[in-house]
Amino acid sequence: MKDPRSISIQDFTYSLPEERIAKYPLAERDASKLLIYKKGEITEDIYRNISDHLPKHSLLVFNNTKVVEARLLFKKSTGGVIEIFCLEPHEQYTDITTAMLQKGKVFWQCLVGGASKWKPGQVLEKKISSINSEIILQAKYIEKKTGSFIIELSWSPMELSFAEVLHLAGAIPLPPYIKRPVEESDKERYQTVYAESGGSVAAPTAGLHFTNNVFDKLKKKNIQTDFVTLHVGAGTFKPVKSETMQEHAMHAEWIDVSKNVIEHILNNLDNNIIAVGTTSLRTIESLYWIGRKPELRSGSRKSEQSSDIQVSQWEAYELNEKNVPVKDALQSLLDWMTEQKLERLVTKTQILIAPGYEFKIVKGLITNFHQPQSTLLLLVAALIGNNPPAGQAGWKDVYDHALQNDFRFLSYGDGCLLCKNDA
């Protein structure tokens, strides 16, 4: 496996006109255009027909995370507005679910708009009228950290969970490149139809095109589906500002995968496993690197905390000296979970997938079109090639085709089915 630290992000750019960025989704989710890349060739269709382009017995893995209303607006007594963008829970909580279920008070890592006008210790307050009662939400500035703030959020009635408070008091955080106010329709359309586990500040956008009708067609063709959870952080929009990837810090995100899903993946390694979205792909591939950690593969597996089994940014390139078969790594992970009496694997992954990465599990990817100079574009290039053999299309050809054929870009745009050339 080639180490991508020396990769220059300038090699992964393209011109994206403002008018090609979709500001709204199409009226019908599955009417979005679909670019299909197979064996170096490009064709077109729409999402409604995606089952026609997938081999029977494929396994599609979706990310069932749910976007939370993470934007909170507080008006000061002077009339100024402070915007609090809830990024992720304070490190004192073991996982996002635990933090979202806190009652009465919670500590959160946030971005703050207008922070210069907010003094440490000063309490902001807003009132929200609900059907049954009035909710009073307070925010207290606790600490400034590098790139974020620690905010104490408290509320009454205290029996409400933080998830319920956000739902009533917050707004859906559309990506910064969708330059318009949030509308009522975004509450539904910026969620997948299968969203279940609240904790993301951005949607797993590849899944926005899937409808119940599409799932029915997949089932009729004996295409299996399963679900993992990766809570998407604001870092997904973080541009790569360093010249090479060596200096770029990849964001860590929470993943939650059931033991049954890991077993399902293990039993389908000989079939085509296709990730629906880059977040699903990063989750699936992270399972391999967790399973081959020395502490999990030793004869005397001690009890590990989630922090001990996290996947770091460069781990995939540093652990590759001794190749471990995928089946062995996944079985080792399952054995460890059995010993620890765990039905779910909850930890963080910081994995960076870029050209030079050797995919262990995933054979294909369904995804939207990504921003220039982004880690998501690096992932696409890793899957289908940066410099393909003569006569075959690479990532640049895929994006050129999309630009020249009226495809809509980014979160609310169209998408593609990308198959590895050896799949």
Mean pLDDT of the chain: 91
Token pair belonging to 227: 């679900």
Pairing of strands 134-145, 123-129: antiparallel
Token pair belonging to 330: 């996944």
The answer to whether the CB of 188 falls within 8 A of the CB of 223 is no
Which tens digit of pLDDT belongs to each residue from 120-178? 878 999 998 877 778 999 999 998 988 889 999 999 999 999 999 999 999 999 998 99
Is pLDDT of 263 > 50? Answer: yes
Is pLDDT of 422 > 80? Answer: no
Residues near 66 by Cβ (< 8 Å), separated by ≥ 6? 191, 195, 196, 197, 198, 199, 200
Question: Which pLDDT band, with edges at 50, 70 and 90, does 391 fall under?
Answer: low
Choice among 25-29, 152-156, 166-170, 297-301 with the minimum mean pLDDT: 297-301
Choice among 35-39, 274-278, 321-325, 345-349 with the minimum mean pLDDT: 321-325
Under DSSP, the state recorded for 93 is: S
Q: Which structural domains are found in the chain, ordered by start?
A: 4-66+195-419 (3.40.1780.10), 70-171 (2.40.10.240)
Choice among 146-155, 302-311, 381-390 with the minimum mean pLDDT: 302-311
pLDDT at 300: 47
Q: What angle do CA 109, 254, 93 make, to 5 degrees?
A: 50
Token pair belonging to 154: 């408290």
Pairwise CA distance, residues 199 & 88, whole Å: 8
Choose between 239 and 396: higher pLDDT.
396
Question: Which pLDDT band, with edges at 50, 70 and 90, does 302 fall under?
Answer: low
Which tens digit of pLDDT belongs to each residue from 365-378? 999 999 999 999 99
Q: Model pTM?
A: 0.93
Compute CA distances 200 → 43, 137, 194, 270, whole Å: 33, 21, 14, 32
Which tens digit of pLDDT belongs to each residue from 176-204? 899 999 999 999 999 999 999 999 999 99
pLDDT at 299: 52
